[in-house]
Structure 1
């Protein structure tokens, strides 16, 4: 998986010439690499994932093209990064794909298209101001997701303190595999193991030698001091996960970075625990699950038919 960007300039939706797919990019104004960059964010130092290993992983798509990662929370709700919608926040334009290893399924893969869900509503964090911090968004789906062996939700915690300094967490995505190297065909989901880095250490690393930025309280860093393992362009919105007693929890949402996999430049993620209450309240306020009208209509029809059969 690759690293994202230099300065924390959010990902843009780039509409290329006809026939070219949209790309998720971080505009990087990097003092270490002064030219403006628009690379595709991917997983650096990763490996091909196996089908079903990360069943909550989604491919967030605008007009059918992969742009960001996403995570399934339950049958109707998905978690991702707010900056993915900076250029297009019309729900109708967006879908999310689950249960596939590739971000570019064949047109003949009917199963893949049956597991592609329309977005009904987009909820950005009310504290998000088009840049970091608070880079988090909830998506409500138009129809409930069907669970199977390859599609399952992730768990959340209101505190991720227990995962501090863990060295065996994972980030997944279809982003670039290097700053100048996009994910090759067949565009298989990548996984890379990373260490959680506490914010004090991360702040220290980002201020060497003369780069100045702040790691906010709602952020969490992951990677390695020597670099080489990171998320990258195209991974934005995807999950940083850790397991505890065989249960997997999402710790962070891929947000920003300086380059991909650079030494002393770990990836920066939105810390889930800082937004846990907002996530819960937003889902409850807007309906965790909307009842399926078909069973209700069937019940009413049967009740009506039964009433007609009663003796006068």
Structure 2
């Protein structure tokens, strides 16, 4: 089976997150799993390729307006436990209408083991075509990426004044952040030479202030559900 994971209602209904203080990607080789979901040729959120049949309209190009591969969505499934009021269980699995061609610019990312946890301070990589300035209104056409770090759930709960559940992973507080338009995009950690998709951009504070973390949906908390959808 070939699938892709993204955010559910938050990502599909409203582009909420993008990269602040990132850098222009010069190729897709650093983040070949990054995809752009588009409506009528316009980017509205990100996602990550986790096998060869994913969901998106743009893969394999740092410029979302000139995709190397353009594939229509076949189906998507939102996690049945999604709770909009607290933005919990914020996941969707999306299947493409045909297989992606795997190459150096288009490559799936591994999923973490069920229950896998990484401590606060762990180095991570974020990317996307979201806003580069909080409160702005212009999306970059060139993919942005930034090195960030994970934030402990207790610290994040205190800073955000919001309960961070086991399905949420915070990151940031190092001078960069996801922002509007990055929703659904990857939070990746390299572990023993392998990149793992540990989270998908979910939500953050208005205007993406750098003194607050952003929050990703934590994939290790629902691996059984993801694998079950991939097996269909």
Q: TM-score, normalised by structure 1?
A: 0.66
Q: Distance in 1 between matches of 2:116 and 2:138?
A: 33
User: Is contact 1:56-1:71 (8 Å) kept?
Assistant: yes
**Distance (Å, rounded) in 2 between the aligned partners of 1:118 and 1:25:** 19
The 3-state SS of whatever aligns with 2:228 is: helix
Matched, 1:195 2:149: yes
- Rounded to whole Å, the distance in 1 between the matches of 2:24 and 2:50 is 23
Q: Is 1:70 aligned with 2:24?
A: no
Q: Which has the higher helix share?
A: 1
- TM-score w.r.t. the length of structure 2 is 0.88
1:221-240 equivalent positions in 2, closer than 5 A? 221-224=170-173, 228-240=175-187
CA distance, structure 2, for counterparts of residue 183 and residue 275 of structure 1: 34
Larger radius of gyration between Structure 1 and Structure 2: 1
Q: Tell me the CA shift for residue 50 of structure 1.
A: 2.6
What residue ranges of structure 1 are gaps of 5+ in the alignment? 1-8, 14-23, 27-40, 79-94, 106-111, 208-212, 287-312
In the TM superposition, what are the counterparts of 1:70-109 in structure 2 within 5 Å?
70-78=47-55, 95-105=56-66
1:260 positional shift: 4.4
Whether 1:129 aligns to 2:73 is no
Aligned: 1:275 with 2:222: yes
Cα RMSD (Å): 2.1
The CA deviation at 1:74 is 0.5
Greater Cα shift, 96-105 or 228-237: 96-105
> Is the 1:229–1:261 contact (alpha carbons within 8 Å) kept by the matching residues of 2?
no
Extract unaligned runs of 5+ from structure 2. Answer: 1-8
Q: What is aligned with 1:50?
A: 26
Change (3 A) 1:12 1:117: closer
Listed one character per residue, the Cα deviations across residues 73-99 of structure 1 (whole Å, up to 9, x for unaligned) are 101245xxxxxxxxxxxxxxxx43110
Tell me the equivalent position of 2:107. Answer: 152
**Structure-1 separation of matches of 2:121 and 2:114:** 14
Q: What secondary structure does 2:227 align onto?
A: helix
**Superposed displacement of residue 129, structure 1:** 3.4
Give the conservation status (yes or no) of the 8 Å contact 2:202–2:216. yes
CA–CA distance in structure 2, aligned partners of residues 75 and 25 of structure 1: 25
Between 1:271-280 and 1:253-262, the stretch displaced more is: 253-262
- Equivalent-residue separation in structure 2 for 1:198 and 1:260 (angstroms): 22
Whether the 8 Å CA contact 2:115–2:221 is kept in 1: the answer is no
Secondary structure (helix, strand or coil) at the match of 2:222 reads helix
Is this contact kept in 1: 2:172–2:210, CA < 8 A?
Answer: no
Distance in 1 between residues matched to 2:204 and 2:225, nearest whole Å: 24
- Classify 1:164/1:281 alpha carbon distance in 2 versus 1 (closer, same or farther; 3 Å): same
Question: Structure 1's 136 and 200: CA in aligned 2 closer, same or farther, altered over 3 A?
Answer: same
Corresponding residue for 1:118? 72
